[in-house]
Structure 1
Amino acid sequence: MATKPEILDSALDVLRAGDALTIDAVARVSGLTKPGVVHHFATKEGLTLAVLDHLLLKWEAELSRRAGAGADAMGRLRAYIEYTLMGDMDPADLALLADPRLRVKLSVRWAERMNAWFGESDHPQVVAARLIADGAWIDRCLGMLPLDDPQRAAVVDVALSLLPKDSNS
């Protein structure tokens, strides 16, 4: 029997394939029956929220790895900027947030987790750097602006140059 993390990975595979996230689709990809998936996730909403949390854990692990132990909010934001512009982005990340029925709930949950990670700042330069990274993430998931690594690295430098030098911003 598949574990919860394996089922959630199967759900991401469904999204990567461009299919709608349904319990039936996840059952098919995971090799389970629909009741087997429902045993772990009673509703599509429950499944979708669990997939989002699973995805966020992966993001947080990668950001922690990049930022290093004990990084402050600015260090974690730097890691996010570098990750969204230089790391491997997964279109399934963005596809998950596109569910029209759950868009608000999913967006709020994503924002709560990411804001807790970066801290909240209304400093215009911090906001601009975050918007660059958020835009890069969306762009990379959709593949709209083809940039090579040196071009992306130059954008990382621009975004990082916006961040205040002191940690109190």
Structure 2
Amino acid sequence: MVTKEEILDAALLVLRQDETLTLDSVARHTGLTKPGVVHHFKTKGALTVAVVERLMDLWELDLNSRVHKSADGRARLRAYVEFAFTSEVDPSDLALLSDARLRQRLNELWIDRLAPWFGESITTDPVELASIRAARLLADGAWFDRALGTVDFTESDRAAILAVALNLTERTAQT
């Protein structure tokens, strides 16, 4: 019997292979019938939300492995920056953009699940806060470009940009 987790992993495989995420395409990849998939996910929207949640579960496992569970906002941001530049990334990571009708719901899910990693809890002066936000934006851009496959940096270039982003998380206010 195919589990929900196996169905979600099959859905991620559909996205990795640049196929359209549909109940039919997921059924083909799981060996189930479309009604078999619908038994677990009543609509394509429900499947899409569950796929994004599964993806975020996987991201959080990776992110949590990079910091101690009591890590502060700055350490979590550094973990996110490193994750964005060094983790395995593929088109399935863009699942949260896959259905315009679900954009608000998926955006809320994204914010709810990943906000603790974006440095939003860090309180400091405006200059340092700008550096922290710039590091987050560099990480977001790196993740997005890597998932799209639009930027092909050498490993040394990527490491240098990562160092710049991490340095921004350590910036102290100029007095």
The TM-score normalised by the length of structure 2 is: 0.88
> Residue 124 of structure 1 corresponds to which residue in structure 2?
130
**Amino acid in the other structure paired with 1:75:** A
Query: What fraction of aligned residue pairs are identical, expressed as a percent?
Result: 52
Letter in 2 for 1:149: E
* Deviation at residue 165 of structure 1 after TM alignment: 5.6
The equivalent of 2:36 in structure 1 is 36
Q: For 1:1-169, what aligned pairs fall within 5 Å after superposition?
A: 1-120=1-120, 121=122, 123-164=129-170
8 Å Cα contact 2:91/2:147 also seen in 1:
yes
Q: Match of 2:100, SS?
A: coil
Any idea what the Cα deviations from partners look like across 1:32-85, whole Å, max 9, x if unmatched? 111111111111111111111110000000001122332211111111111111
Deviation at 1:95, TM superposition (A): 4.0
How far apart in 1 are the matches of 2:119 and 2:146?
24
Alignment check: 8 A CA contact 1:7 1:37 kept: yes
Task: Say if 1:86 and 1:149, in contact at 8 Å, map to a contact too.
Answer: no
Distance in 1 of aligned mates of 2:60 and 2:24: 29
Q: Is the 8 A contact 1:10 1:26 kept in 2?
A: yes
The 1:131/1:82 distance shift into structure 2, 3 A limit, reads same
The CA deviation at 1:118 is 3.6
Q: Distance in 2 between matches of 1:152 and 1:66?
A: 19
Unaligned runs of 5+ in 2: none
Q: Over the residues paired in the alignment, what is the CA RMSD in angstroms?
A: 1.7
